[in-house]
Structure 1
Amino acid sequence: MKKNSLDKASWENRYTNSQIGWNIGYPSTPIKAYIDQLEDRTIKILIPGAGNSYEAEYLWNKGYENVYVLDFAKQPLENLKHRVKIFPEDQLLNCDFFDLNNQFDLILEQTFFCALSPNLRKRYVEKMHQLLKPNGKLVGLFFDFELTKSGPPFGGNVSEYTSLFEESFKIKTIEKSINSIKERQGKELFFIFESP
């Protein structure tokens, strides 16, 4: 069964051909602000569909050594390893997110959910619930624009996201992002969902 409308080879080709419009070249401002208020540097963190992983690099440089980076494509993981030479190989996960079997205290979401075919959203919620430890948090950004058939990125809105996640998570926050990068201002929602 095909798990994504874009297979592994398609994602690899996007990196090879520099078709990576989501890549901003530095940590996303809302995610960076969230990281900056964290205190426990021992927590186990996952960044799925991490791309070039500037957030992982930022976390690592701040002393968070229990960071796992997952991507379907190998090239972005190699790009992170090139920038952070001591990043542990066993924390670079080149696999399908839906095949991952582990648990985390915090999962950071940015440009992964919106890259998945919308018909995988319920599965995404189930998998995130499975991957989080009790009281673990799923934190990040969703796009706030009409869900269309064209994509990625695929959009949505507060009520759609709330109804999708509320059965499996405590919705702590879901609101307009006030510190998005210029290109995404007014188009992002910042959220914090907690695993029961």
Structure 2
Amino acid sequence: MKQDFNANYWQQRYQNKQTGWDTQSITTPLKTYFDQLTNKELRILIPGCGNAYEAEYLFEQGFTHVYVADVAPAPLEHFAGRVPDFPKDHLLLQNFFDLKGEYDLIIEQTFFCALDPDLRAAYARKCAVLLVSGGKLVGLLFDTTFTQDGPPFGGSADEYKKYFEPYFKFIHFERAYNSITPRQGRELFINLQKK
């Protein structure tokens, strides 16, 4: 029987501290990207946010319209405790595919690889729906295969392109040069603009 990666599954992973993807801080490629952003009014969504180190960093830098979404309450509760001044109404306990709203920027950091691969085309489509015209999807995708059953689920640049091409222009879609050491040579940095 196929595993259902639902809220209960992820909540148990957090409760059992089975969070091997958790880097304990923002990763270098996203920090480098964020550091060149000048518009602090951007509406930013981080889906499947986990412990949301990216949101913490952005909030500390003065970005006030950052929203984080996850299906499991544990990471959102942990984040709220760690960043108590973060607006509570920007913590979205929701399935990504049920989200509403319009965003200028969606940040991808280990959410895509956590989804059942059958949902990848739907993910690309939903990102396009949530983004304003000209909005961007920016982040990291694993460009590797994993020997163990997922999540995380791996893949390749060639596979991913077919999901995003219908909705996005490719500004940047290449191997990340500044990945953290455990992920060096295995990540794509993407910067895709909604058509």
- Normalised-by-shorter TM-score class: over 0.9
Equivalent residue for 1:49?
A: 48
Greater displacement, 55-64 / 159-168: 159-168
Superposed CA offset, 1:86-118 (max 9, x none): 111110000100000111000000100000000
Superposed CA offset, 1:97-146 (max 9, x none): 00001110000001000000000011111100100000000000000113
Equivalent residue for 1:102?
A: 101
Q: Quick one: distance in 2 between partners of 1:147 and 1:29?
A: 22
Q: Quick one: distance in 2 between partners of 1:122 and 1:184?
A: 24
Q: Quick one: distance in 2 between partners of 1:160 and 1:46?
A: 24
CA contact (8 A) 1:148 1:154 kept: no
Pair 167,149 (structure 1): closer, same or farther in 2 beyond 3 Å? farther
Unaligned ranges ≥5, structure 1: none
Counterpart check, 1:144 vs 2:143: yes
Alignment coverage as a number of residue pairs: 194
Superposed CA offset, 1:65-97 (max 9, x none): 100000111111111111111111110000100
Equivalent residue for 1:82?
A: 81
Pair 132,149 (structure 1): closer, same or farther in 2 beyond 3 Å? farther
Superposed CA offset, 1:4-43 (max 9, x none): 8311111000010000001111001101110000000000
* Aligned amino acid, residue 99 of structure 1: D
Counterpart check, 1:177 vs 2:170: no
Equivalent residue for 1:13?
A: 12
CA contact (8 A) 1:144 1:158 kept: yes
Question: Matched residue of 2:185: which SS?
Answer: coil
1:111-190 pair list within 5 angstroms: 111-146=110-145, 150-190=149-189
1:18-33 pair list within 5 angstroms: 18-33=17-32
* Aligned amino acid, residue 177 of structure 1: A
Greater displacement, 139-148 / 159-168: 139-148
Equivalent residue for 2:36?
A: 37
Q: Quick one: distance in 2 between partners of 1:63 and 1:136?
A: 20
Q: Percent identity?
A: 50
Superposed CA offset, 1:164-194 (max 9, x none): 2111110111101011111100110001000
CA RMSD in angstroms comes to 1.5
Shift of 1:147: 7.1
